[in-house]
Chain A
């Protein structure tokens, strides 16, 4: 009995998984981070004493319960532009598939430094990308879809993960399911979500959306359907990932859901970070087929 449990555990967490799915996730995640943090280069003063949060108060200003053991921002404020540039460069390397675990770990450490130097200005995308960058840093994420592979023989490419990578891929699946479940549960605490009008509070708030959505009051049922659908999608995401019939429709709805949020509310970075994790749920045969089709088309275009 114990032997069977150990075998099942070993197979669930450590059995080889597709490195292609991980590489696709890496590209979308780090590509999104690259854009977000390249733009943050214009805000580097937010991480110095020149702005609202002095270095001496960076940790102290957090509620005691949420204080880290150390702040990660080991560099002086005077070198913030340099450190930020190095951080963006590391993310670029990861996007290109260069450097693997060491580069990813270095990028994560710098990311955490910026997170705790000014916790107040964090987007949801900053927090979630930090979480997934942590897991990614333990994986062999650059083994596939790396620019370095252009100089390698196709046969030399590894297709399946080592056991540490597999464990982290599983952990990422758990992590995204927990994030979705909690976002749904938290909404159930709100009277406006329970009432089916919360989406209105978002779309009618000029600070949250780019255009005037007040015309939706002429079709109020759209608001109610949208509000309840959001909660159902989020709460049942973990269950849907366990069900073969529901998994792909749920992921497709998720893509539409996040792209809508991204376009209507200007939260595209957040949306893409969430969508990046979807690759971890797709069957490897599908992604292998899609990627080889793309490669064939590129090859044909080159031959013309």
Chain B
């Protein structure tokens, strides 16, 4: 009886230490870029990343994003650069500037955002994937398109204009990638 009580006290002590550490981790990691986050990076980040406590909890912040998607064109040229086939244009997500409530489709939107957080991912992930879909493609051109949401002030002032008329299309990261790259 006494032994089991001692074991329980010892276990509670261990758990208490973990509680203190865990509270520190879940408080620091959402602001990992801060001085404290950087200072304790080695003590906190590996654990937090491995066990899923590294999220920054920034839903719709610092500002909600505009409508965005990837527009790509697949080219089919021979080695001398002559066109073998008409280019094919596509969008990712395929819904383009429209949303979807279909959970099985919605993950594409999150993947698009994930790629845009680090545009190198377009080269390492997106381009090889699209090239694989078209085995005879020679190259791929990708554009990141943003359709702006008109600011509230503008939408209020120009009530007679439709929202799509007030929106502007902007293109970023126009990049061409070779398919069949060695």
Contact = CB atoms under 8 A, between A and B. Distances in A.
Interface of A: 9-10, 13-14, 36, 39-40, 42-43, 46, 51-54, 57, 61, 63, 65-70, 112, 115, 119-124, 127-128, 130-131, 134, 163-164, 167, 171, 174-175, 178-179, 182-183, 186-187, 189-193, 197-198, 200-202, 204-210, 212, 214, 217-218, 220, 223, 266, 269
B51 A201 contact: no
A67 B163 CA distance: 41
B35 interface: no
Nearest to B49: A68
B30 A178 contact: yes
A123 B165 CA distance: 31
A118 to B, nearest CB: 8
B62 A193 contact: yes
Given A52-B126, A197-B151, A206-B99, A186 B57 contact: yes
B52 to A, nearest CB: 5
Interface string B99-137: 111011011111100110010010011100100000000
Give the interface SS of chain B, mostly helix, strand, loop or mixed.
helix
A112 to B, nearest CB: 6
Given A63-B118, A123-B110, A178-B26, A186 B58 contact: yes
Interface residues of B, number: 67
B106 A205 contact: no
A70 B41 CA distance: 17
Given A65-B45, A131-B55, A186-B57, 11 more contacts: A39-B104, A61-B121, A66-B54, A121-B108, A164-B15, A179-B57, A186-B56, A197-B151, A205-B64, A207-B97, A266-B100
A187 B61 contact: yes
B60 A69 contact: no
Contact of B50 (A70, A202, A218): A70
Contacts of A70: 50
Nearest to B109: A207
B12 A206 contact: no
Given A10-B12, A186-B61, A175 B104 contact: no
A266 B51 contact: no
